[in-house]
Amino acid sequence: MVTSRLEQHPILRVVPRDDVPFTWDERPCTAKAGEVISSAAMAHGVRAFGHHPRDGSPQGLYCANGQCAQCLVLADGRPVKACMTPVTPGMRVAPLDGLPTPPRADTAPRPRGVERLEVPVLILGGGPAGLAAARQLGERGVETLLIDDKDRLGGKLVLQTHRFFGSIEAVHAGTRGIDIAERLSDAATAFETTTVWLRSTALAVFGDGWVGVLRGGRYALVKPQVLLVATGARERALAFRGNTLPGVFGAGAFQTLLNRDLVRIAERVFVVGGGNVGLITAYHALQAGVAVAGLVEAAPACGGYRVHLDKLVRAGVRVRTSHTVVAANGEGAVESVTIARVDEAFRPLSRTERSVACDAVLVAVGLDPVDEFTAQAAAAGLRVVTAGDADHVAEASAAIFGGTIRGLEVARGLGACDGDVPAEWLRMAEILRSKPGETVERTAPLERSGIHPVFHCSQEIPCNPCTSVCPQGLIHIDASDIRRVPRYLGDELAAACLGCERCVRICPGLAITLVDWRTDAAFPTVTIPFEFATDALREGDAVTVLDTAGELLGGAEIVRLRRAGRGADGTALVKVRAPAEVAERIAGVRVQDPSVCDPLTRYQAPIADDEVVCRCERVAAAELRSWIRAGERDLNAIKALTRAGMGACGAKTCAPLLARLFHDQGVPAGEVTPSVRRPLFVEVPLGAFSGADEP
């Protein structure tokens, strides 16, 4: 694994930041101002953050979101999560090998008073749903406290460099996620009635209606009239051999280090999962100059948007469906991944294994709602409302609009406004939450004259930015259902395209090209959107062009290059001179050599003995299967027998995997006794409750 800091990026601005000195295992290092330990350490090449007390296995970063506990380190002698703890000047950081030693206390700490605050509305989570809800409440003068455990608002939007789908009017479609985060944050915090606590973590909802919050190192209790849970979702883990090797990351962790902290933690990644998260993460890797050695999806087809898949294959990434990961291989860190074809029951087929070289495996196999606060609040009799992924996992555009609706409903319930949620809002929410629809057949090529756009999107998804920017009104999508694919109305309206290129730039799927037949009917000019580094491209160069499905169309000469300058929002335009017979099929320029995805000449046998289900306690699947086969059906008993679920993360990672083990053994879910949930959902130092840990 090779790590380094990004010095340039085709979309993100790389702004110089002050250096902060610290030491890692007594080695002098520097972090960037505001940076967390994990990002700073990995920028210096750190792979293992410690070794597990059970078997000495190396522990690497996995989620980078505070959900697991695999990145525990010692900071100035105290165990902390490296992904959530900022580096301070002179901080002494050391790997955690084994169990930490409790700090000595010569005298008992003197307890301090606990801050108590009562508010009309408490919002948990400053992502797209929480911010949209806060705006609705702020506009109606409702006093609101919004808390988030990060150092900035925006949630996962701050990691997204691509343009968003959906409605341009309702959810900023056509705008990059990083910019939507700023817009939502500015709108939500523009009111005197809105208070924001950053780096603040909700711990629990108690039976008397008070919510425990850790604000920095200070403990506080907040009692709301309404609790609005917008805590998002956590990434699912996957059990396979070598799944805890340093270099196996959740896809979100890779995005966090790459797009938020500008730390490149790999040279060649392999992605597991063909939903939108996996497809987008692979694309983000390519944007930052990281090779993508391939992507596998266990289902017969990728579940993400077709335009996301198309962007990858025409960039040179090989996508294998009906395949799964068998093992991550390497001595101490990932060096390759082994994959195999699966049967109808998603079981790996023997003799189909092949290994691919990579130094990181990115797991993107779905999301689970962070809904524990909702259940706890309901049990306490507190009025609770959920929004965004905590309510229903969907795209961020759906979370924005869902938060808007929930914010209005809460304001109305508190008497701050009258009237029902508009019917058109409910309809839009339904559209934005919908799964990809039918794939439609495109019409025959247009007449070979003039200049006109060519649409390479064929799947019905909610998206309408192209219709909003055409100055002639020549692009049409059914206004009653923005999931319809766009149509060009030039012939119907007897109007001509101006060639302004706005539709080409704004399309979130990079699925619009512009073909100009006016100067050369034999070799027309094709304008292609391009979101990668353009430093190596020159006019007169030959590039390889491909169609929507990644089929090779041959070479084309660059006749003009419009780099992404001021106001272009990061999208460059590559104009190529191409033969007439392929001009309207051209959808993209190949970015990486397909040989990057070639398998190794021989299959590499896995080194790890078994897949780990419980990361915190390192409990393997084989041990758990043996108890299930012996007839054990109580997860509390299995916890006592194996310690699975007793670790620091509170079973956030292993609980879904345990459920899957029972399913695979043919045990109905109704026969399984669930594990008792902990009263606190997040680890917290005991000293915080007394005030002894206050900064």
Q: Which amino acid is at 341?
A: R
Q: Which amino acid is at 232?
A: G
Q: Which part of the chain has CATH 3.50.50.60?
A: 115-233+369-432
Model confidence at 555: pLDDT above 80: yes
- Report the C-alpha gap between 138 and 220 in whole angstroms: 23
Phi, psi for 575 (deg, rounded to 5)? -100, 125
Model confidence at 40: pLDDT above 60: yes
* Beta-sheet strand order (sheet of 291-297): 248-250, 360-363, 268-272, 291-297, 319-321
Question: 626 pLDDT band (50/70/90 cuts)?
Answer: very high
Model confidence at 568: pLDDT above 90: no
Model confidence at 566: pLDDT above 50: no
- Report the C-alpha gap between 372 and 231 in whole angstroms: 10
Q: What's the pLDDT score for residue 216?
A: 81
Dihedral, 302, 304, 307, 312 alpha carbons, nearest 10: -60
Question: 567 pLDDT band (50/70/90 cuts)?
Answer: very low
Higher pLDDT, 241 or 566: 241
CATH of 1-101 among 3.10.20.440, 2.40.50.500, 3.60.15.10, 3.40.630.10: 3.10.20.440
Instruction: Assign 3-class secondary structure to 57-97.
Output: CEECCCCCCCCCCCCEEEECCEEEECCCCECCCCEEEEEEE
CA 455 to chain centre: 27
Sign of the C-alpha dihedral computed for residues 288, 294, 298 and 303 taken in this order: positive
What is the number of other CB atoms lying within 10 angstroms of the CB of residue 443?
9
Q: What's the pLDDT score for residue 431?
A: 95
- Report the C-alpha gap between 314 and 291 in whole angstroms: 14
CA 245 to chain centre: 21
Phi, psi for 669 (deg, rounded to 5)? -60, -30
Model confidence at 288: pLDDT above 90: yes
Architecture of the structural domain at 115-233+369-432: 3-Layer(bba) Sandwich (3.50)
User: For 282-286, 384-388, 653-657, which range has the lowest pLDDT when averaged over its residues?
Assistant: 653-657
SS3 content of the chain, % helix, strand, coil (to 5): 25, 25, 50
Q: Which two tokens stand for residue 576?
A: 């190529």
- Residue whose entry in the numeric block shows the structure tokens 């670790």: 647
Q: What's the pLDDT score for residue 678?
A: 87
Question: Percent of the chain at pLDDT above 90?
Answer: 84
Average pLDDT of the segment spanning 498-508: 94
Dihedral, 281, 286, 289, 292 alpha carbons, nearest 10: 80
Decide the pairing of beta strands 323-329 and 451-455: unpaired
Q: What's the pLDDT score for residue 609?
A: 58
Residues linked to residue 7 through DSSP beta bridges, in sequence order: none
Phi, psi for 35 (deg, rounded to 5)? -80, 145
pLDDT, averaged across the chain: 93
Q: Are 455 and 488 in contact (CB under 8 A)?
A: yes
Average pLDDT of the segment spanning 41-59: 94
- 314-328 burial string, b = 16+ CB within 10 Å, else e? bbbbbbbbbbbbbbb
- Report the C-alpha gap between 576 and 571 in whole angstroms: 16
Helices (H), 545-694: 580-583, 621-629, 635-642, 654-664, 687-690
CA 671 to chain centre: 34
Closest CA to 331 of 48, 543, 76, 75: 48
Helices (H), 246-395: 251-255, 276-287, 306-313, 372-379
Ramachandran region of residue 45, left (φ > 0), alpha (ψ -120 to 50) or beta? Answer: left
Q: Which part of the chain has CATH 3.10.20.440?
A: 1-101
Question: 504 pLDDT band (50/70/90 cuts)?
Answer: very high
Closest CA to 570 of 59, 163, 123: 163
For residue 264, the surrounding DSSP H or E stretch is strand 263-264
Sequence-ordered list of residues with C-beta below 8 angstroms from that of 637, at least 6 positions apart, any chain: none
Model confidence at 110: pLDDT above 80: no
Question: 89 pLDDT band (50/70/90 cuts)?
Answer: very high
For residue 187, the surrounding DSSP H or E stretch is helix 177-188
Distances (CA, A) of 480 to 64, 111, 438, 468, 477: 40, 61, 17, 15, 9
- Residue whose entry in the numeric block shows the structure tokens 């001509």: 496
Q: Which amino acid is at 199?
A: R
Closest CA to 41 of 18, 57, 64: 64
Q: Which two tokens stand for residue 483?
A: 């999931």
For residue 357, the surrounding DSSP H or E stretch is strand 354-357
Model confidence at 607: pLDDT above 80: no
Q: What is the pLDDT of residues 391-423, one digit of tens each?
A: 999 999 999 999 999 999 999 999 999 989 999
Closest CA to 511 of 493, 485, 491, 489: 485
Model confidence at 681: pLDDT above 80: yes
Q: Which two tokens stand for residue 348?
A: 């790996």
CA 263 to chain centre: 16
Q: Are 315 and 591 in contact (CB under 8 A)?
A: yes
Neighbour-count burial of 253, counting CB atoms closer than 10 A to its CB (0-12 exposed, 13-18 middle, 19+ buried): buried
Question: 135 pLDDT band (50/70/90 cuts)?
Answer: very high
Q: Where are the beta strands (DSSP E) in 275-318?
A: 291-297
Model confidence at 446: pLDDT above 70: no
Closest CA to 482 of 468, 466, 462: 462
Average pLDDT of the segment spanning 158-169: 94
